[in-house]
Structure 1
Amino acid sequence: MSRVHYEVPLRCIGVAVVLLKNTPCGYKVLLLERATSVLRGIWCYIGGAIEEGEKAWEAALREIREETSITNVTLFTSNKFDQFYSAEENYIYIAPVFVGYVDEDQNVILNHEHSKYEWLSFNDAIERVRLPGNDEVLEFIKKHFASNDPLEWLRVGM
């Protein structure tokens, strides 16, 4: 008797971005508090959809600009991915995580998607995020992008 097996599709339709700034006290991570109906009140890093014709890194730069008004970013791909399973639509969402370095004096102007922002130490940011897996992403970024200089071949958008 043969069984038919079905796959749960993978969908890569978005990006995630962790912004860092180097301060005299060490690297700080930008977290945003969501203001929209999806994830209202949850603190997270930047994320959003990839639009038609965009490369993932281009979507990352656009999302940074739209959500924070920051335009001067040195962007790297991290080789890490956000992921979750959508029970409602039966697919696995996967998004490449990018790391952006910004100047210490960078101003943040939030759009309507967020109500607050904070630049936090890695330890405080890891404690603040509530989505499962966000803490692991931040630990990874701390190890490979704050405690060590990133590899230049990971740089994108030059």
Structure 2
Amino acid sequence: MIPVNTSIVSGVALSQIDGETKMLLMKRVKGDFWCHVAGSIEGSETGVDAIQREFYEETQIQVSHLFNAQFLEQFYEPHVNVIQLIPVFVVQCPPAQVIKLNHEHTEYRWCTLEEALALTPYPSQHAVYKHVWSYFVDKPINPIYRVELS
């Protein structure tokens, strides 16, 4: 049997950088690869609580416009024999969003879809970025994806 873990959330930040929509990628210390924001749900947090906290901890972004990306990132981790099912969120940031990284990352870049696909190693990441770009950049964001924040 392969257990399924649903205790992680992830999110892609979008911002207008020099008049062009771009997504935020960061280079992780652990593993030395490019990725988006992700982290574990803690205590009695909801997924929405966790993604807001993770964005603030990792980037200092105060989430004010949050969307359910309507996508589950999924992959198998052979070293722990677990299938990860991770709900993806999208954070719409103000233009030229300022980023301040924590100790988990060494650098960041605002990327086009093509740049993000070239930087990242995993097919599951590529699927996330293509989906987000299709539903949150290439066409107007459907208001039903909006997550009300308390």
TM-score (structure 2 length as normaliser): 0.92
Give the % identical residues. Answer: 31
What is the SS of the residue equivalent to 1:147?
Answer: coil
Alignment of 1:17-56 (within 5 A): 17-36=11-30, 39=31, 41-56=32-47
Match for residue 93 of structure 1? 84
Query: Which of residues 103, 106, 116 in structure 2 aligns to 1:115?
Result: 106
Following TM superposition, by how much is the alpha carbon of 1:48 offset from its aligned partner in structure 2, in angstroms? 0.5
Q: Between Structure 1 and Structure 2, how many residues are aligned? A: 149
Matched, 1:149 2:140: yes
Gaps of 5+ in 2: none
8 A Cα contact 1:57 1:157, kept in partner: no
Following TM superposition, by how much is the alpha carbon of 1:72 offset from its aligned partner in structure 2, in angstroms? 4.1
Following TM superposition, by how much is the alpha carbon of 1:153 offset from its aligned partner in structure 2, in angstroms? 1.8
8 A Cα contact 1:75 1:156, kept in partner: yes
CA distance in 2, matches of 1:59, 1:153: 21
RMSD over aligned Cα atoms: 1.4
Matched, 1:9 2:8: no
What is the SS of the residue equivalent to 1:133?
Answer: helix
Query: Which of residues 116, 122, 141 in structure 2 aligns to 1:125?
Result: 116
Following TM superposition, by how much is the alpha carbon of 1:124 offset from its aligned partner in structure 2, in angstroms? 0.7
What is the SS of the residue equivalent to 1:85?
Answer: strand
Match for residue 76 of structure 1? 67
Gaps of 5+ in 1: 1-6
CA distance in 1, matches of 2:96, 2:63: 11
